[in-house]
Amino acid sequence: MQVLGVIPARYGSTRLPAKPLLKINGRPLLEWVVNGVRSSPALNELIVATDHEDIANLAEKIGVHAVMTDANLPSGSDRVWAVARERSCDVVLNIQGDEPLIQPFWIDRLVSIFTQKPEARMATLAHKLPPEELDSRGVVKLIMNRQNEAIYFSRHPIPYTRMTLEQSPGLALKHIGLYGYKREFLKMFCEQPPTPLERAESLEQLRALWLGERIHVATIDALSVGVDTAEDVKLVETITQTKR
């Protein structure tokens, strides 16, 4: 099975412009992500997909091939498909460029879904939801069925419960924005225009559920912090102080 990993790295982030170049403890965010995944034995190829020469130059400098993509592409998935459609592979990974704490075993765990379940066409990761993050709109929550398939994703607390999170542990998980797709499904996914449901929540993965696709979920024991705000940068800097 040939696995292609693509890191979509857009320059024009609304909250943090030039986010892939943002320094965290002296190193660009993109470098943290690349170093966190490049040693995974599950990856056959790793590419940075970007719309800006400075990001492309950084990728090449740290030893990863960069592909220039259209700045007007509507989403990270479209940026990933713009790379994958020109390559022969079986599984495509959308490796979010704002997860500086990512580790190689995250990649291995995600890819293992496709080896263990040949019928799987889309997969993602999640971990235990910290109680203090249940009400955070910046944290995507998911619930799943007994077969470890996603039922729903939301920025709101889900599911509704009259109990506290401590009284009903494990009902909601924290979603990690790392996706795996069978190549043919990614093509179909990107050819389908955004749906009202995904627009309402601003969550692309809801398009897959609308299409009737099963999203297989692998759980990991890890800490994830997506960098979207200046506060996230400070938090990650504290966590990564010893990893420079």
Which sequence spans correspond to the domains of the chain?
Answer: 3-243
| Predicted TM-score of the model (pTM) | 0.93
Q: Among the listed ranges 24-28, 29-33, 144-148, 240-244, which one has the minimum average pLDDT value?
A: 240-244
Question: What is the pLDDT at residue 146?
Answer: 95
Question: What is the pLDDT at residue 22?
Answer: 94
Q: What is the mean pLDDT of residues 83-109?
A: 96
Neighbours of 38 (CB within 10 A): 15
Q: What is the mean pLDDT of residues 91-106?
A: 96
**Counts of helices then strands in the chain (DSSP H, E):** 8, 11
Q: pLDDT category, 243, cuts 50, 70, 90?
A: low
User: Which residues, 6+ apart, have CB-to-CB distance to 198 below 8 Å?
Assistant: 204, 205, 206, 207, 210
Question: What is the pLDDT at residue 166?
Answer: 60
Q: pLDDT category, 77, cuts 50, 70, 90?
A: very high
The CATH number of domain 3-243, selected from 3.40.1030.10, 3.90.550.10, 3.90.79.10, 3.40.50.2000: 3.90.550.10
In angstroms, the CA 139 to CA 134 distance is 8
Q: pLDDT category, 230, cuts 50, 70, 90?
A: confident
90 close to 182: Cβ distance less than 8 angstroms: yes
pLDDT digits (tens, 9 = 90+) for 124-173: 999 999 888 888 888 999 999 999 999 999 999 888 776 665 656 668 99
- Give the mean pLDDT of the chain: 92
Q: What is the mean pLDDT of residues 97-109?
A: 95
In angstroms, the CA 99 to CA 97 distance is 6
Q: pLDDT category, 102, cuts 50, 70, 90?
A: very high
* Residue 131 structure tokens: 């109680």
Q: Indicate the pairing of strand 65-68 with strand 91-95.
A: unpaired
Question: What is the pLDDT at residue 165?
Answer: 56
Percent of the chain with pLDDT over 90: 79
Question: What is the pLDDT at residue 17?
Answer: 86
- The H-or-E segment that residue 216 falls in is strand 216-219
Question: What is the pLDDT at residue 86?
Answer: 93
Rounded alpha-carbon distances, angstroms, from residue 221 to 45, 104, 137, 138, 242: 25, 13, 22, 20, 20
* Residue 137 structure tokens: 């709109």
Provide the angle, in degrees to the nearest 10, between the axes of the packed helices 53-61 and 29-37: 40
Percent of the chain with pLDDT over 70: 95
pLDDT digits (tens, 9 = 90+) for 178-211: 999 999 999 999 999 999 999 999 999 999 999 9
